[in-house]
Amino acid sequence: MAVPTIYTSGPEEMVEYAERIRERACALAARGATRWIVDLRLNMGGNMHPMLTGLGPLIGDGPIGGLVGAEGEEVARWSIEGGVNHAEGAPMVALDGSPCELEVGQPIAVLLGPVTMSSGQIVAIALAGRPRTRSFGESTADGYTTANEWKQVRPDLALNLSVAFTMDRTGRVYERVVEPDEVVTGADDFDQPGDDPKVRAALDWLGRQP
């Protein structure tokens, strides 16, 4: 299941994106899916909240990470609650209706690559430390695992500064890249997934999960 880039912060577009991801997961579950591949290799970031909310029923409720400041102090905490991504206890995307119910703890293989960056990396970090979850592929883009904040210097000048690093649910902090649990190289083949070395490695691992 590919999770694409989304740059908009418009509420309607965020809801539409999250619902599309959620509906895809729920449709696959209705057809009997119990093992999952979340492909982030072409996710160049944008808005993390609809991504995490769309995947919320699959990730499962509970803490998924947050942010730490320059001195290592925690400055934000994220969680999935009722299938919706929350920041500091507040829902980030307002979806109508309830998400489909997926069995807790189904195995997830996460695919990473050098194009995975920013919010794509944050999705990977939100899945890191989740039981029965393993990542495959190559290191993500370097230097995008940060939270940014606009600073108005003067009326005609603003700076977008990195102000915090991302941490996963275990407390591990990611200052530069997300490394896969299992390095898999070789050319990606998005047209023929069966010939893709990263997909094959993920399927091999998933096939060994109870």
Task: Determine the pLDDT at residue 160.
Answer: 87
Which residues 6+ apart lie within 8 Å of 60 measured at CB? 80, 102, 104, 105, 130
Task: Determine the pLDDT at residue 202.
Answer: 98
End-to-end CA distance of the chain: 20
Mean pLDDT taken over the chain: 94
Mode of pairing for the β-strands spanning 173-174 and 157-167: antiparallel
Write out pLDDT tens, residues 149-168.
Answer: 888 999 999 998 899 999 99
What is the C-alpha to C-alpha distance for residues 133 and 127, in angstroms, rounded to an integer? 7
Among 21-30, 99-108, 171-180, the range scoring the smallest mean pLDDT is 99-108
Sequence letter at residue 132: R
The answer on pLDDT for 143 being more than 90 is yes
Q: What is the mean pLDDT of residues 71-80?
A: 95
Structure tokens at 47: 């808005």
What is the C-alpha to C-alpha distance for residues 156 and 91, in angstroms, rounded to an integer? 33
Task: Determine the pLDDT at residue 97.
Answer: 72
Structure tokens at 158: 């603003």
Residue given tokens 């997961």 in the structure block: 25
Task: Determine the pLDDT at residue 175.
Answer: 95
Residue given tokens 């290191």 in the structure block: 139
The answer on pLDDT for 99 being more than 80 is no
Task: Determine the pLDDT at residue 150.
Answer: 86
Kindly indicate the confidence band of residue 54, based on its pLDDT and cuts at 50, 70 and 90. very high
Kindly indicate the confidence band of residue 9, based on its pLDDT and cuts at 50, 70 and 90. confident
Q: Please say whether the beta carbons of 93 and 49 come within 8 A.
A: yes
Q: What is the mean pLDDT of residues 29-46?
A: 96
Q: 3-class DSSP state for residue 172?
A: coil
Cα–Cα separations (whole angstroms), residue 207 to 24, 82, 104, 198, 203: 22, 29, 18, 14, 6
Architecture per CATH, 11-207: Alpha-Beta Complex (3.90)
Quick count: other Cβ atoms within 10 Å of Cβ 91?
A: 14
Task: Determine the pLDDT at residue 94.
Answer: 85
Q: In the chain, pLDDT over 70 holds for what percent of residues?
A: 100
Task: Name the residue ranges covered by the structural domains of the chain.
Answer: 11-207
Cα–Cα separations (whole angstroms), residue 25 to 2, 29, 140, 141: 10, 6, 24, 26
Kindly indicate the confidence band of residue 179, based on its pLDDT and cuts at 50, 70 and 90. very high
Task: Determine the pLDDT at residue 131.
Answer: 96
Q: b or e along 121-137 (b: 16 or more beta carbons within 10 Å of the residue's beta carbon)? A: bbbbbbbbbbeebbbbb
